[in-house]
Amino acid sequence: QADTEAFRDKIHVTQQNANATIKMTSASLHDLAGLIGPADKQLRLQSDRLRNEFQEVVKRYSNLQKEVATRQRYSMCKPATAPRTRTSGWGGLEAQREEEEAALIPGLESPQSPVQQQQHLVADLDYENALLAERERRMRQIETDMLDCNQIFKDLATLVHEQGETINSIEGNIESTQINTSQAVDQLRSAAQYQKKYRKKACCLLTLAVIGIAALALVIYFSAR
């Protein structure tokens, strides 16, 4: 694939979409963990497996993103030379006509006036400044596209810690409710209804997480080709 402006824009859009998918999947995993109760061991195991797979996908994507950024920086650091003769801009058409006449008549030179030389110099400087501005803009875009994977990993680690604290808190509440038998029965019934109500929502979030990871894996696969 040639390193063209269209190809760079395509890479930028692909990375933006992948970053959004990763953030959405991470948020879905957080929501899923908050809905899983201590008795939902099977659902918790599936959530842990998805979280581990998601971490591996993010690591692979991060490595691929660094490789792409390195290649883009290397490509943009190559010196670009401005064309000597232009067919547009200050004095461009006249210079082209003079060169064509010189090619038809042997020995005829096409000297440039000081004004034309100054115009060509200004045009060349404008061209170089435009290249420099575009290069700086692309460099900033590369830095912006880089996903903060460390923050994603911290969020997932916090998710595991919070899930453990939630389980301990629920177990403590169950022990305290056993003091009053009737109150415990009422709370258990309410907990069962709550669990049944949100089990469907947890399954939906689980499905969204699977779809997000699969979509991200496809993005990495096609980007690496």
Rank 45-49, 107-111, 130-134, 146-150 by mean pLDDT and report only the highest. Answer: 45-49
Question: What Å distances lie between residue 153 and 21, 143, 183, CA to CA?
Answer: 15, 19, 41
Residue 184, pLDDT above cutoff 60:
no
pLDDT in tens, 145-164: 666 667 777 777 776 555 55
111 with 49: CB under 8 angstroms? no
Cα dihedral sign, 147-162-217-25: negative
Which of 61, 111, 80 lies closest to 219 in space, CA to CA?
Answer: 61
What pLDDT does 134 receive? Answer: 74
What pLDDT does 151 receive? Answer: 73
pTM above 0.75, yes or no: no
Residue 104, pLDDT above cutoff 70:
no
What pLDDT does 79 receive? Answer: 58
Structure tokens at 89: 């801009």
Distance from C-alpha of 219 to C-alpha of 100, rounded to nearest angstrom: 51
What pLDDT does 177 receive? Answer: 46
DSSP state of 87: S
Among 38-47, 55-64, 163-172, where is mean pLDDT lowest?
Answer: 163-172
Distance from C-alpha of 14 to C-alpha of 72, rounded to nearest angstrom: 15
Residue 174, pLDDT above cutoff 50:
no
Residue 88's pLDDT band (cuts 50, 70, 90): very low
Residue 55, pLDDT above cutoff 80:
yes
Residue 15, pLDDT above cutoff 60:
yes
Structure tokens at 162: 């919070």
- How many of the other CB atoms lie within 10 Å of CB of 34? 14
pLDDT in tens, 112-146: 677 787 888 888 888 777 777 777 777 777 777 66
What pLDDT does 163 receive? Answer: 53
Distance from C-alpha of 54 to C-alpha of 215, rounded to nearest angstrom: 11
Structure tokens at 194: 């709550």
What pLDDT does 170 receive? Answer: 46
127 with 82: CB under 8 angstroms? yes
